[in-house]
Amino acid sequence: MPEPVRLLPGPGASPAPAAGAAPADRTPAGGGALPDATVDTLRHLIAQVLGLPVDAVAAEHGFTELGGDSIQAIQVVSRARTAGLLLTTRDVLRGESIAALATAARPADGPGTDGGPAEPPRRTGPLTATPIMAWLGELEGPVDTYHQSLVVRTPAGFRAEHAVRVVRTLLDTHDMLRLTVPGGAGAAAAGCLVPPPGGTDARDLVEHVHAPGATDADLPALTTGRIAAARRSLSPADGVMLRAVLVDRGPDRQGRLALVVHHLVVDGVSWRILQDDLRACWARLAMGEDPVLEPAPTPFAHWADLLAADAASGRRMAEAARWAEALRPAPEPLGGVCPQDRLDPESADRRLTLTLPPEVAGPLLTAVPGVVNGTVNDVLLTGLALAVLAWRRPVTGPADGGTVLVDVEGHGREDVAGAPDLSRTVGWFTTVHPVRLALGRPDLDDARSGGPAAGEVLRTVKEALRAVPDHGIGHGLLRHGNSRTRPALAALGVPEIGFNYLGRFPTGDDADWAAAPGHDLALDESDDGLAMAHAIEVNAAAHDGPDGPALSATWTWAGNACPDDRAHALAHEWFAALRALVRYAALPGAAGLTPSDVSLPGLGQADLDAFEAQFGELP
């Protein structure tokens, strides 16, 4: 999401306050007192989403200052709606403080604040495949079992009949969980249908595993085995997009509930929605009430219609040249495109997972983005670009042009097509777009040591990402949703490396409905034989534990595109670059603005550096 735009002081303005000065008065314009109840509500919501103690979240803190990202901002919007407050993700990310955010909040029951489309939204009927749904059809191999799963702790006393009622409620509330693809998952572009609620018997979708003797140590293997069986019974052609497995250890012990959902209808943000819904359903069931959930203000079918119209618009088609320019060949490894149809299938033998501990991941996800008023993606992609340059330098030498081309995944819930409220919509929204990072010839030795060269590259990458229109949603629309631009873009190939940051997830919590240990959350899984979409792929996620967040990254690669030892070397080089960025952020004077932060057109990085040298660091 966009970051705040700063207004530079005019001639004769005073210098910026010194670091450590008292916060500016953030009383709303026009004088009145801050809405204390709203501030308190938002403090609690943000603390819950970020996994922080409430007393660590103050009214003067900003959401991104606390480590929040755009995916978590969507979760804040969803929970705020439940609490009776309407916000947008833009509000959450741009708010200077929680106090300022409270002044932007509107009551959910106010006039004209339903958050949905002005006309009654279309929830059922034929569905136009979105770009990512069409993309899946281009992969070779088994896609009918291409799924994600979530395993949560269930309360003692949560029985099979409860599981059935919860699954029925999820099906009735979230339209895409009922999606039918007559030709199978790979033929979504040829036609999909969202049937009305009530056509599926939830009892047929829930497996009850009675395991009174299972220990905590037994549960991961037991549950994983049942997930493998459940995914094989997914059937998009028959509208079976969801399977559930209840591991029941009796009335006095926590059990496990696994939801296995085809990736066509779920993504990382959707899992956060569904996990909150599981809690809400049980709260009602425990009180003897029906587990009724609030429907999404904007149904996925309506969003798909909006995207189809956007794909054909002149404004969007004007981007085609930009994407063609990004997708050009380059002589350096991982600097250009590769043919998509020549890659080996994904294999467990070519997979590596590495983890950065909290003492590194904590500042990496909070302090480092803060020094450039940036995002976690800015930082992670900077590290990746530096790693690629260092990794290939022994091969390319001084002739290396310094270009890195990356396919970047995003959550896809963007402020386009009228900016509908998608905070409660379950579906696969993911976008994929190429980003060409032109870094020139940075001093890699200085960057690797955490010197000023690391900051220069960080600012360059941030600006390159800010220049991408609408976070790249247009690439997929033109590549898959527009018959005029599709052939030319398809012929260009894809970047050799794909990157996806899934956001932050809480771990280590033994509360009911918390994610259960021993299971990956929201990582794609499929049967053997599914072709890789890129020569090398990186999926990273932060897991919040009692000592802070740890950053885990899973690397996969095609054997016919990258030798195992080279893939391992690149993975380790990335973490070395991320450690260097943490060291850089601790340097005096590391913080500074970039051109996209200010409102004066034509201002370059050198101008800003000179300005800050004269006036001091802006707050």
| Residue 319 placed within a domain | no
Q: 56 and 92 in one domain?
A: yes
428: CB partners within 8 A, 6+ apart: 130, 132, 133, 176, 263, 264, 265, 266, 267, 270
Domain that includes residue 17, residue range: 1-29+591-619
| Residue 216 placed within a domain | yes
Rounded alpha-carbon distances, angstroms, from residue 453 to 391, 450, 577, 584: 17, 8, 12, 9
Residue 273 belongs to domain with CATH number: 3.30.559.10
Supply the DSSP symbol for 435. Answer: E
Q: 9 and 66 in one domain?
A: no
Q: 604 and 553 in one domain?
A: no
pLDDT for position 23: 36
Q: Are 223 and 229 in contact (CB under 8 A)?
A: no
| Residue 255 placed within a domain | yes
| Residue 310 placed within a domain | no
pLDDT for position 112: 45
Q: How many other CB atoms are found less than 10 A from the CB of residue 154?
A: 25
Distance CA 424, CA 411 (A): 14
| Residue 566 placed within a domain | yes
| Sign, Cα dihedral of 68, 70, 72, 74 | positive
Q: 582 and 499 in one domain?
A: yes
pLDDT for position 284: 96
Q: What is the pTM of this model?
A: 0.86
Q: 390 and 248 in one domain?
A: no
| Residue 429 placed within a domain | no
- How many domains would you assign to the chain? 4
Q: 345 and 274 in one domain?
A: no
> Where a domain ends, among 107, 138, 158?
107
Rounded alpha-carbon distances, angstroms, from residue 596 to 94, 205, 224, 538, 608: 14, 50, 46, 27, 11
First-last CA distance in the chain: 20
Q: 271 and 134 in one domain?
A: yes
Which H or E run contains 605? helix 605-615
Q: Are 513 and 507 in contact (CB under 8 A)?
A: no
Rounded alpha-carbon distances, angstroms, from residue 113 to 81, 108, 205: 11, 6, 36
What parts of the chain have a pLDDT lower than 70? 1-35, 109-119, 339-341, 508, 521-523, 599-604, 606-619
pLDDT for position 344: 87
Q: 267 and 151 in one domain?
A: yes
Q: 267 and 142 in one domain?
A: yes
| Residue 386 placed within a domain | yes
Residue 55 belongs to domain with CATH number: 1.10.1200.10
DSSP string, 221-278: HHHHHHHHHHHHT-BGGGTB-EEEEEEE--TTS-EEEEEEEEGGG--HHHHHHHHHHH
Tens digit of each residue's pLDDT (9 = 90 or more) over 189-211? 999 999 999 999 999 999 999 99
* Strand residue runs (E) in 317-475: 337-338, 351-356, 403-410, 431-438
Q: 171 and 90 in one domain?
A: no
Q: 205 and 277 in one domain?
A: yes
Angle at 394 between CA 401 and CA 585, to 5 degrees: 70
What count of residues does the chain have?
619
Q: 370 and 351 in one domain?
A: yes
| Residue 518 placed within a domain | no
Q: If you search the block for the tokens 């399977």, which residue do you land on? A: 243
597: CB partners within 8 A, 6+ apart: 3, 4, 5, 6, 373
pLDDT for position 72: 86
Residue 363 belongs to domain with CATH number: 3.30.559.30
Question: What b-and-e string marks burial along 291-310, b requiring 16 or more CB atoms within 10 Å of the CB?
Answer: bebebbbbbbbbbbbbbbeb
